């Protein structure tokens, strides 16, 4: 039952009436009651008669809360909506000031309310932009938009903004051509907001942070406008008016400075703005004139310069990454050619370098490549980002199914041809880390000559500082001539931009034709932009005869030129800052790997005619550098065994590619990039069983195989099309050496079985093509090939051994047939000399191979020799010739050489025995200098490995003496090996006995090689700290430098000598140079040592090796060889009685010995070095008494036996142990022992007080040992035993007089030492000094009583001469060494 009725209006003045309410209650509900209205002042109400309860009092009280997406309770937002409604109703704006005020009040609206009405508010604001004519209203609308977007982002409602831009926003339809659009007005007023004169920095910062939203609105509005107006079908340059393009251009010009100037204070905002801008420009390619889009990119890049901060460089490459990842990137870079025009490699001439024409035709590629080139001169972080952008882009091309055919990939690779020039310019910075270096010329050095020129070619691959430094000035001048401004001005020609934009006539295909390549006739290099200005060397001696043929068929180009760096782009073009100068720091491993992957992708996909065109138009410098890069790729991506890859997989996890998903198909190059580069530690050790590890094995192996196949294809292509260039000068040119070295590199590095099969096939083709070069030219190629094939004949893989044997047999047979079936010889002077040089090279190669004992398996090698013999016996075409017999003879000689291998393996852990065996082999080849030098070099390697640098240096000395003697017999060096007698007394005896054999026809020693070897000797002597010998070595080198007028070498030589003599002075003063210690080692035990039983050696040990250390080493060595508990040390130096030894044990006697010199030698050998160089005699002493039961007795009973040992050669020598050939024993009587010991004390004290810089500690030790209280008994004991008046008659007068003279010297030198110590001590040591003086006076007093004469006074001590003391001490030598019978 209702009590009454009540009602109220929901809207009051257009606003929802909410909050606490109190209204009257009526008893009836007449019709028209809503028209009832209280009149107030007790006048009742108008409208129908209504009866109110309780006199119309507000009895009904309640509260209203608004829940609506249409109405808002926020007054500012309500006013704005109401104002917008009036505008829609009237069709015109109210007063501009009123609208502006309404917009400004929106800043006070709470963020929750804005989010609730977000689509509606944004729609009203965007619609307001094209309707208003007021700049102030539009600018305030844009500011409010920025504020709202920022508020939504702060409350994490970015998804709502993205949904709005994608689904809700709809542009205002255009009624006429004069109608304004949202994108036009938004671009215009965003620019106004960013202008400095009206800048609100807070608003600008918010805009930069959330600029993505506005760029998306611009793109959405543009696309909807094109669809609604039908302009989507119009040409791109007619879709938008020019004033809109100008507004977009102006907007970019105002945004970019904010990015480049505020990146430090607003890192996140500027990063977002840069990213959003790149996305926007990328989308502009879809809707706008593409020439205009290129113009925007160019304007953006102009704001960046080389040397910018790391952040700005990152922004630039992030921008390029986003733009270049456009889905139609390839068509954008391929300007459409004229109809019917076929693009051959001649037409692509400008595509080979980063030229201006290239950048006009291929804008984005040119921009990216120039940026990468510039980034390589920046710091590591920037370099890595630039390289990764290029790498990922190439990976995208590889994965793109739209361009999967070979022709399409070839056209894409042609776009990146200038990258070859870029990587060649930076080749000296490519550090391949642990890549194996090839021997000889395979280490990347270009040691040969240019075709038709004897001058040295480009510097080594590792360092080209000199060449590059010469080019710097030329490069700077070239760049300055290009433009006078500091910034790059890209082509703005409207015709060019129109072509790039796609308005030129369309072509029918992306592919290029396959014209016949021009093999000869190019006289310029594509890598040099100034080819016409380079000098041409025309040496008539090196020009082959024409024989009436055209010059292009005569021989290849002889133009010598340097590669000029590519032109600048996207940075400083007209000026060269220090940051833009060439750098020489090495790139790290990951950078090198990524660069080489990019290089291999390009080379792999390039069409053959394009690559041939590059070779045709490149200088020899560039071609050799190209092959050097190819060599790096082979070394960098060499094959690792499955075990190694599996092991790496256990501790590593490869990152997945984050550019495109993996597609099914063959393993390609870029899937390896991340697998090899981005490795991080993984905790799960159970990865071994996972499929990922097995996949990694396949990935690594397949990638190494693919790199090898690409390299072989390139080498084969070049060899087939440039055969004439390779054969020039009978192959004695740099190109042939480099191509040949690349073939051998596959045998020198780790490769899979499959790639080795292809490598052997390539070598077979090489032998068939270039037999004349191998068998008539320089012997080095044949020698290197024989060595590598023999090494492969020792492989663990049966297939590799079989292939190597087959190839070696082919080499022998080809040589035999080349010589018209006389013999498989290498004929040097046609048919005038017929020597067995092929056999000789094989023997030399075997000797080099077995010098590395550890890696050789005699069983496998013997098997390989048997295979070669079987080939010869089963070859039907050779059965009626002497060829099989000669093969049998050669293999027999090889087996003879291999017999030494078993012995070397047996003693491979015994360095002394191993060197002795190699020494025996070297000695047996005294008639074959090349083989002897091979073993000397092998001995030097062993010495260096074991730290015996002096012995290694002497191996080099004997090697160079061998060459000198060879040149003497050729009449080129008359002095021969005798010039080395001042360096080593061993040289002339060892190296003057050599005889020449037939194999010497292949030896190419010259005076130049002699000087190079002498320089190597000097370096080795310097490392061994034998500085005194450097002067003797440079006495042989300097005259040659003077004759050549090589002042740079002379300056270097004298600098080395200055440094050496300075070091001599330093070590003489400091006494810190240690030239080694000598030990006598005697071996006993016929059952163990066999031929070495009862032989005695002198061992030279490095530095400060102690007796205990050597004993322990020898005991461990022979225990390992003979077994435990079989080796015993004899711990004394007495003579060994063989009858007392047990035949079940091996005995080693080790004794410390010192060099021994007679009086005449001591006068000549005044320095420590002279007493340790060229020494043959050594001495050790054994104390004894007449009582055989005791070795030591009282002073007057103590005898001493001095044993003098003479070795077969002088130390240092090519080996560290030399056999003793003669020994002599001398017995010293007790008085001679006293003379000897006292003389040693005098000499020791004399050496201390004679030092230029006194050593107080050493001085006090000597004083303490001479005049101290506790040791005074030593000197006095000798005097009392032999010089007391009661005992003088018992000894010969000359001995007693000599002992007295020594005591007089002893007293004098002790007095001098005391005086010197008094000048060195501090105040706290005065008491110690007085104690020493008191002890000295007591000792002198006792001696004076014994001598009955005055021995010392202070005046005498001050006037005593140290030189006279030294001279007197020298005269006592004969007394000590006199026969014992006179005592």
List pLDDT tens digits, range 760-795: 999 999 988 888 888 877 778 888 888 888 888 888
How far is Cα 394 from Cα 668, in angstroms, rounded to an integer?
A: 11
Instruction: Determine which of 329-343, 583-597, 730-744 has the lowest per-residue pLDDT on average.
Output: 329-343
Whole-number percent of the chain with pLDDT over 90: 25
Task: With residue 422 as reference, give the H or E element that holds it.
Answer: helix 418-425
Q: Is 70 exceeded by the pLDDT of residue 1062?
A: yes
Q: Within 10 Å of residue 709's Cβ, how many Cβ atoms?
A: 15
- pLDDT band of 709, cuts 50, 70, 90: very high
Distance CA 1027, CA 1023 (A): 9
Per-residue confidence at 1290, pLDDT binned at 50, 70, 90? confident
1267-1280 per-residue burial string, b: 16 or more CB within 10 A, e: under 16: bbeeebeebeebbb
d(CA 736, CA 723): 9
- Tell me the pLDDT tens digit for each residue of 556-574: 333 333 333 333 333 333 3
Tell me if 386 sits within 8 A of 372, measured CB to CB. Answer: yes
Q: Is the peptide bond before 1159 cis (omega within 30 degrees of 0)?
A: no
Minimal CA–CA distance to 575: which of 491, 488, 476, 472?
Answer: 476
Q: Determine what percent of the chain is predicted with pLDDT higher than 70.
A: 75
Mean pLDDT estimate for the chain:
77
1184-1199 in b/e burial notation, b at 16+ Cβ within 10 A?
beeeeeeeeeebbebb
Output the pLDDT for position 1216.
93
3-state SS record for 333-399: HCCCCCCCCCCCCCCCHHHHCCCHHHHHHCHHHHHHHHHHHHHCCCCHHHHHHHHHHHHHHHHHHHH
Q: With bands split at pLDDT 50, 70 and 90, how would you rate the model's confidence at 1179?
A: very high
Query: Which distant-in-sequence residues (6+ apart) come within 8 Å of 646 by Cβ?
Result: 688, 693, 694, 696, 697
In the three-class reduction of DSSP (H, G, I as helix; E, B as strand; rest coil), residue 37 is classed as strand
pLDDT at position 648 is 55
Judge whether residue 522 has pLDDT over 50.
no
Is there a contact between 862 and 891 (Cβ–Cβ < 8 Å)?
Answer: no
Spatial distance between the Cα atoms of 1290 and 1280, rounded to a whole number of angstroms: 13
* Distance between CA atoms of residues 650 and 335, nearest Å: 49
When mean pLDDT is compared across 258-272, 480-494, 802-816, 1128-1142, the lowest value belongs to 480-494
Q: What's the Cα-to-Cα distance from 1143 to each of 259, 1118, 1122, 1124, rounded to whole Å?
A: 91, 16, 13, 15
pLDDT at 904 over 50: yes
A 10 A CB-CB count for 609 gives 21
Q: What is the pLDDT of residues 634-681, one digit of tens each?
A: 988 887 766 565 555 554 444 433 333 433 344 444 444 433 334 333
What is the b/e burial string over 205-242, where b = at least 16 CB atoms within 10 angstroms of the residue's CB? bbbbbbbbbbbbbbbbbbbbbbeeeeeeeeebbebbee
pLDDT at 1321: 87
The residue-averaged pLDDT of 241-253 equals 90
Give the model's pLDDT for residue 762: 93
Stretch 944-963: mean pLDDT, rounded? 92
Give the integer Cα–Cα distance in Å for 1267 and 24.
132
Which range of 52-56, 69-73, 305-309 scores highest in mean pLDDT? It is: 305-309
**Burial class, 1247, CB count within 10 angstroms (exposed 0-12 / middle 13-18 / buried 19+):** middle
**Residues 1204-1232, mean pLDDT to the nearest whole number:** 92
């Amino acid at each position: 039952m209702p009590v009454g009725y009540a009602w109220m209006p929901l809207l009051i003045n257009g606003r929802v009436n909410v909050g606490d309410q109190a209204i009257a209650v009526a008893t009836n509900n007449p019709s028209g009651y809503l028209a009832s209205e209280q009149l107030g002042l007790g006048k009742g109400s108008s409208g129908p008669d209504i009866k109110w309860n309780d006199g119309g009092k507000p009895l009904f009280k309640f509260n209203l809360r608004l829940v609506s997406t249409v109405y808002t309770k926020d007054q500012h937002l309500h006013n704005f909506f109401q104002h917008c409604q009036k505008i829609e109703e009237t069709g015109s704006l109210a007063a501009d000031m009123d609208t502006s005020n309404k917009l400004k009040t929106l800043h006070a609206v709470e963020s929750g309310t804005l989010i609730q009405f977000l689509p509606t508010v944004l729609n009203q604001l965007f619609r307001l932009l094209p309707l208003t004519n007021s700049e102030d209203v539009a600018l305030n609308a844009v500011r409010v938009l920025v504020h709202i977007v920022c508020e939504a982002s702060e409350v994490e409602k970015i998804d709502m903004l993205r949904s709005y831009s994608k689904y809700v926003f709809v542009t205002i339809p255009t009624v006429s051509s004069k109608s304004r659009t949202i994108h036009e007005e938004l671009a215009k007023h965003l620019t106004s907001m960013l202008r400095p004169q009206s800048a609100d920095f807070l608003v600008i910062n918010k805009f930069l942070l959330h600029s993505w939203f506005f760029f998306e609105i611009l793109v959405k509005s543009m696309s909807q406008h094109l669809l609604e107006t039908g302009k989507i079908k119009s040409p791109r340059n007619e879709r938008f008016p020019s004033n809109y393009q100008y507004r977009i251009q102006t907007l970019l010009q105002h945004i970019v400075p904010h990015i480049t100037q505020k990146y430090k204070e607003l890192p996140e905002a500027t990063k977002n703005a840069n990213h959003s801008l790149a996305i926007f420009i990328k989308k502009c390619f879809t809707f706008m004139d593409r020439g205009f889009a290129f113009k925007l990119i160019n304007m953006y890049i102009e704001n960046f310069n080389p040397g910018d901060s790391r952040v700005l460089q990152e922004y630039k490459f992030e921008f390029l990454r986003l733009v270049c990842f456009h889905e139609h990137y390839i068509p954008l870079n391929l300007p459409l050619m004229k109809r019917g025009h076929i693009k051959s490699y001649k037409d692509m001439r400008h595509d080979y370098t980063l030229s201006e024409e290239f950048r006009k035709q291929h804008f984005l590629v040119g921009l990216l490549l120039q940026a990468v080139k510039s980034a390589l001169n920046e710091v590591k972080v920037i370099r890595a980002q630039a390289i990764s952008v290029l790498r990922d882009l190439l990976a995208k091309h590889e994965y793109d199914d739209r361009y999967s055919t070979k022709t399409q990939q070839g056209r894409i690779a042609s776009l990146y041809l200038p990258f070859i020039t870029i990587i060649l310019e930076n080749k000296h910075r490519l550090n391949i880390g642990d890549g194996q270096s090839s021997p000889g010329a395979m280490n990347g050095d270009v040691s040969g000559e240019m075709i038709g020129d004897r001058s040295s070619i480009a510097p080594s691959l590792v360092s080209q500082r000199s060449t590059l430094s010469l080019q710097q000035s030329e490069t700077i001048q070239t760049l300055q001539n290009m433009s006078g401004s500091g910034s790059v001005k890209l082509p703005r020609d409207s015709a060019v931009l129109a072509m790039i934009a796609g308005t030129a006539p369309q072509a029918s295909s992306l592919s290029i034709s396959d014209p016949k390549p021009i093999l000869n006739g190019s006289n310029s290099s594509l890598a040099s932009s100034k080819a016409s200005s380079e000098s041409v060397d025309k040496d008539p001696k090196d020009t082959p005869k024409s024989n009436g043929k055209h010059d292009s068929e005569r021989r290849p180009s002889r133009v010598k030129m340097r590669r000029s760096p590519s032109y600048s782009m996207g940075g400083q073009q007209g000026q060269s800052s220090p940051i833009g100068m060439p750098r020489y720091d090495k790139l790290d491993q990951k950078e090198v790997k990524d660069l080489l992957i990019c290089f291999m992708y390009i080379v792999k996909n390039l069409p053959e005619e394009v690559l041939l065109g590059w070779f045709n138009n490149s200088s020899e410098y560039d071609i050799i550098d190209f092959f050097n890069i190819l060599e790096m790729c082979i070394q960098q991506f060499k094959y690792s065994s499955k075990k190694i890859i599996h092991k790496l997989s256990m501790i590593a996890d490869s990152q997945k590619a984050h550019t495109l998903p993996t597609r099914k198909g063959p393993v390609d190059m870029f899937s390896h990039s991340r697998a090899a580069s981005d490795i991080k530690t993984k905790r799960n050790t159970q990865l071994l069983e996972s499929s990922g590890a097995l996949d990694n094995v396949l990935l690594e192996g397949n990638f190494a195989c693919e790199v090898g196949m690409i390299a072989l294809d390139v080498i084969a292509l070049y060899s087939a099309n440039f055969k004439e260039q390779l054969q020039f000068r009978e192959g004695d040119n740099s190109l042939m050496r480099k191509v040949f070295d690349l073939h051998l590199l596959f045998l020198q590095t780790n490769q899979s079985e499959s790639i080795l099969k292809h490598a052997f096939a390539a070598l077979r083709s090489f032998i068939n093509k270039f037999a004349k070069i191998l068998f008539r030219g320089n012997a080095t190629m044949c020698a290197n090939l024989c060595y590598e094939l023999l090494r492969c004949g020792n492989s663990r893989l049966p297939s590799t051994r079989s292939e190597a044997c087959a190839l070696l047999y082919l080499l022998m047979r080809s040589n035999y047939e080349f010589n018209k079936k006389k013999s498989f010889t290498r004929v040097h002077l046609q048919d005038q000399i017929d020597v067995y040089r092929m056999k000789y090279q094989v023997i030399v190669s075997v000797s080099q191979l077995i010098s590395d004992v550890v890696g050789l398996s005699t069983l496998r090698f013997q098997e390989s020799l048997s295979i070669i013999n079987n080939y010869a016996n089963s070859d039907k075409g050779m059965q009626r010739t002497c060829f099989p017999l000669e093969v049998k003879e050669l293999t027999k000689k090889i087996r003879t050489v291999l017999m030494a291998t078993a012995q070397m393996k047996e003693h491979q852990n015994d360095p002394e025995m191993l060197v002795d065996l190699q020494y025996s082999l070297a000695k047996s080849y005294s008639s074959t200098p090349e083989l002897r030098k091979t073993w000397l070099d092998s001995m030097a390697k062993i010495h260096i490995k074991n730290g015996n640098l002096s012995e290694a240096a002497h191996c080099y000395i004997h090697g160079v003496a061998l060459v000198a003697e060879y040149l003497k017999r050729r009449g080129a060096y008359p002095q021969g090996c005798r010039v080395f007698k001042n360096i080593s007394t061993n040289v002339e005896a060892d190296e003057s006995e050599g005889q020449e054999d037939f194999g010497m026809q292949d030896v190419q020693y010259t005076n130049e090689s002699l000087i190079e070897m002498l320089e190597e000797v000097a370096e080795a002597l310097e490392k061994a700290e034998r500085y005194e010998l450097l002067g003797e070595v440079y006495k042989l080198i300097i005259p040659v430098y003077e004759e050549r007028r090589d002042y740079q070498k002379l300056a270097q030589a004298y600098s080395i000598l200055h440094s050496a003599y300075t070091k001599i002075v330093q070590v003489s003063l400091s006494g810190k140079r240690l030239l080694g210690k000598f030990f006598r080692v005697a071996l006993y035990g016929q059952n163990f040592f066999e031929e070495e039983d009862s032989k005695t050696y002198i061992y030279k040990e490095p530095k400060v090796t102690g007796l205990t250390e050597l004993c322990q080493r020898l005991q461990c060595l022979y225990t390992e060889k003979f077994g435990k508990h079989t080796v015993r040390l004899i711990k004394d130096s007495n003579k060994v009685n063989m009858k007392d030894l047990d035949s079940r044990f091996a005995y080693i006697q080790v004794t410390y010995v010192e060099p021994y010199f007679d009086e005449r030698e001591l006068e000549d050998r005044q320095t420590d070095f002279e007493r340790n160089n060229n020494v043959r005699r050594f001495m050790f002493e054994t104390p004894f008494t007449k009582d055989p039961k005791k070795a030591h007795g009282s002073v007057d009973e103590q005898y001493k036996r001095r044993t003098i040992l003479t070795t077969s050669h002088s130390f240092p020598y090519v080996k560290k142990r030399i056999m003793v050939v003669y020994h002599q024993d001398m017995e010293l009587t007790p008085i001679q022992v006293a003379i000897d010991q006292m003389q040693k004390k005098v000499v020791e004290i004399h050496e201390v007080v004679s030092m230029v810089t006194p050593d107080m500690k050493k001085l006090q030790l000597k004083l303490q040992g001479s005049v101290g209280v506790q040791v005074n008994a030593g000197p006095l004991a000798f005097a009392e035993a032999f010089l007391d008046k009661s005992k003088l008659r018992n000894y010969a007068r000359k001995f007693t007089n000599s002992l007295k003279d020594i005591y007089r010297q002893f007293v004098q030198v002790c007095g001098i030492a005391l005086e010197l110590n008094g000048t060195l001590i501090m105040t706290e040591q005065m008491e110690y000094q007085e104690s020493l003086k008191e002890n000295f006076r007591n000792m002198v007093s006792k001696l004076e009583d014994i001598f009955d004469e005055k021995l010392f006074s202070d005046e005498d001590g001050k006037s005593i001469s140290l030189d006279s003391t030294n001279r007197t001490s020298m005269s006592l030598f004969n007394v000590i060494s006199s026969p014992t019978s006179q005592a």
